[in-house]
């Protein structure tokens, strides 16, 4: 374990919103001059000849049909809502470097099919062109029976899916952006959590990042995603059940007690700062897994203070840099870790009294060149089997301090 002495990172971010050619929202989050002061403004117009995303769709016979969004189907065996987003089959997949839709526009180019109109940016957020969830104006959001069968329920897949680009440099990663830019990312996550939580029908906001081809990333530009769900996700429901039971028994927050227990014993604590603690959870299920939690009880990102967000901006980068050294190749060179990282925040309405903010980072890489593939009991029965122990994971991360 090590305690990190972190410099303060002052937040100074300018937020500028615009609309893309098809009506989707795009927001620049600027921390550099001349944009942060307002002396200059990013390009706000989108010259692409894209049709309005809600415009009627014309079929092969020339007949126009109203646009339809994703739908949700209720699994009668588990009670879980399953989004059906068939249009995502045609989304961008591993484009060549000169066709990266997340890169800034090429200087002097009259038109390109990229999502960011300006030739540079600091951090940018925009609505996904191929969303898993989308609110279509005028669509009935109620639950209906399919073919009159009570077992088959469906409703519109309302909500919102956004992309957040951490850097305009396609060769960068979140771990390399630096504390000042990381603070801008934190401000963007906070802004989007607050704004999306206020949308009608949204029950949970999830900010996350997938990194690495082993995870299944289809665009290697440094970016993450933000989902505004119209339901509370199954993982969160399970955590809420445990948290409620613990609270009813003890009167305390489960995640508060988990953090206190990890700090008391210390074996799995891998990083500490003034406001944050990183630890490998007692029952970690992935080959590499770390939780990063605030010392203070807060439900979500908007509840963090400026000091906590500044500390997070340096502490998280320290953790990511260590994770990128977890595995080494035959020559002793560090192997960039493929990972999934996501913020567990309190839902918009349900269970806020027993929820506590924390970040989960995990990887499917169990050794250099070897992935953890889910076995039959894991995929079919959700009965997990770990290939290592949390103490081994923690020991390696402690060594890297």
Q: What is the dihedral of CA 26, 29, 32, 36, to 10 degrees?
A: 100
Helix-strand-coil percent breakdown of the chain, rounded to 5? 25, 25, 50
CA atoms within 13 A on the CB side of 176: 12
Cis peptide bond upstream of 34, omega within 30:
yes
DSSP state of 321: H
Among residues 65, 87, 223, 291, the one annotated as catalytic is 223
Contacts of 31 (CB under 8 A, 6+ apart): 12, 13, 14, 122, 123, 180, 181, 183, 184
Q: Give Cα separations from 101 to 24, 95, 112, 163 (angstroms).
A: 15, 8, 9, 11
Active site residue 275: no
Q: Which residue is listed with tokens 């963090």?
A: 304
The angle formed by the CA atoms of residues 156, 161 and 162, to the nearest 5 degrees, is 160
Least Cα distance to 322 among 310, 336, 341 occurs for: 336
DSSP state of 87: G
Which helix (H) or strand (E) segment holds residue 343: the answer is strand 339-344
Provide the annotated active-site residues: 223
């Amino acid at each position: 374990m090590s305690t990190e002495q972190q410099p303060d990172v002052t937040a100074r971010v300018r937020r500028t919103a615009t609309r893309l050619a098809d009506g989707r929202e795009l927001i620049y989050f600027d921390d550099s001059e001349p944009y942060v002061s307002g002396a200059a403004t990013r390009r706000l117009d989108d010259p692409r000849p894209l049709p309005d995303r809600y415009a009627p769709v014309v079929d092969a016979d020339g007949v126009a049909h109203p646009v339809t969004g994703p739908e949700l189907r209720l699994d009668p065996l588990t009670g879980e809502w399953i989004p059906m987003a068939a249009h995502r089959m045609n989304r961008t997949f591993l484009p060549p470097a000169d066709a990266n839709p997340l890169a800034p526009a090429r200087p002097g180019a009259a038109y390109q099919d990229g999502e960011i109109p300006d030739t540079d940016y600091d951090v940018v957020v925009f609505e996904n062109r191929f969303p898993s969830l989308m609110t279509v104006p005028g669509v009935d959001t109620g639950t209906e029976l399919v073919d009159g069968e009570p077992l088959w329920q469906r409703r519109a897949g309302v909500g919102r899916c956004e992309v957040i680009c951490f850097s305009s440099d396609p060769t960068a990663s979140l771990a390399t952006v630096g504390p000042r830019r990381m603070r801008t990312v934190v401000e963007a996550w906070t802004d989007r959590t607050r704004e999306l939580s206020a949308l009608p029908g949204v029950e949970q906001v999830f900010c996350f990042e997938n990194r690495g081809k082993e995870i299944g990333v289809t665009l290697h530009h440094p970016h993450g995603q933000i989902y505004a769900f119209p339901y509370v996700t199954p993982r969160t429901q399970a955590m809420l059940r445990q948290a409620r039971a613990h609270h009813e028994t003890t009167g305390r927050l489960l995640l508060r007690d988990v953090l206190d227990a990890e700090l008391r014993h210390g074996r799995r604590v891998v990083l500490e700062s003034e406001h944050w603690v990183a630890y490998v959870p007692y029952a970690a299920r992935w080959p590499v897994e770390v939780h990063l939690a605030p010392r203070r009880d807060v439900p979500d990102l908007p509840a963090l203070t400026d000091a906590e967000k500044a500390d997070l901006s340096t502490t998280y980068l320290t953790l990511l840099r260590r994770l990128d050294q977890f595995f080494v190749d035959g020559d002793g060179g560090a192997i960039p870790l493929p990972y999934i990282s996501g913020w567990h925040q309190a839902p918009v309405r349900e269970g806020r009294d027993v929820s506590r903010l924390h970040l989960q980072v995990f990887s499917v890489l169990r050794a250099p060149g070897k992935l953890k593939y889910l076995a039959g009991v894991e995929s079919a029965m959700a009965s997990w089997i770990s290939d290592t122990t949390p103490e081994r994971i923690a020991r390696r991360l402690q060594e890297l301090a």
